[in-house]
Amino acid sequence: AEPRIPCPFSDPLIRRCSALLWAHLRRLHAHMAPSVQAELTNRLVHASKLGRAMISIASHGEGDRSGYLEVVRNCIMLQRCLVQAMDFNDSPLLQLPHVRSVPKGAPSFSEVLKSPEQSLLKRLGNFTEQQVLDIQCFCQHLPMVELSYSV
């Protein structure tokens, strides 16, 4: 079922850009004409700069700073979604090659990264031997970043 997302904007350019970004987040690239894909690519190039500017403004603005952390977190989440072509609530497992949906009882993303064995991947779907190798290769090359901070 196609999601019905109302667009609160009346400006045609903003409505078009909004529709392009939602199509990107829902990974509808195969249904786009080449000219539309090119327009989306152009928008995504500029979205990165815009996202950095939004984060900078939210974190360095004047006045009451009580709600800035949530705004910055949401800006970062939006950038992540745009880079990964994933909706806000999508499973990280959709980043894996050949994974198009995540069934109930699927292993966690970290479980797959730690041990992408064929028996574990069967809980995600029926993959060919080559697809399993693609997923295992992806897991081996994905950078593991550990982040810590102290206040």
Write down the pLDDT at residue 89.
86
pLDDT of residue 134: 93
| pLDDT tens sequence across 77-86 | 999 889 888 8
Q: What local confidence, expressed as pLDDT, does residue 33 receive?
A: 95
pTM summary value = 0.68
pLDDT in tens, 9-22: 778 888 888 889 98
CA distances from 68 to 5, 55, 65 (A): 27, 9, 5
Give the tens place of pLDDT for each residue, 46-98: 888 988 998 888 887 677 767 788 888 889 999 988 988 888 888 989 989 99
Given a cut of 70, whether residue 5 has pLDDT beyond it is no
Identity of the amino acid at 50: L
pLDDT tier for residue 31 given thresholds of 50, 70 and 90: very high
pLDDT score recorded for residue 100: 86
Chain-wide mean pLDDT for the chain? 86
Per-residue confidence (pLDDT) for residue 3, from 0 to 100: 64
Tell me the pLDDT tens digit for each residue of 106-149: 999 988 988 888 888 888 889 999 999 999 999 988 887 887 88
**Which pLDDT belongs to residue 32?**
94
d(CA 88, CA 103): 18
What are the residue ranges of helices labelled H in the chain? Answer: 12-25, 34-60, 68-84, 109-114, 118-121, 129-141
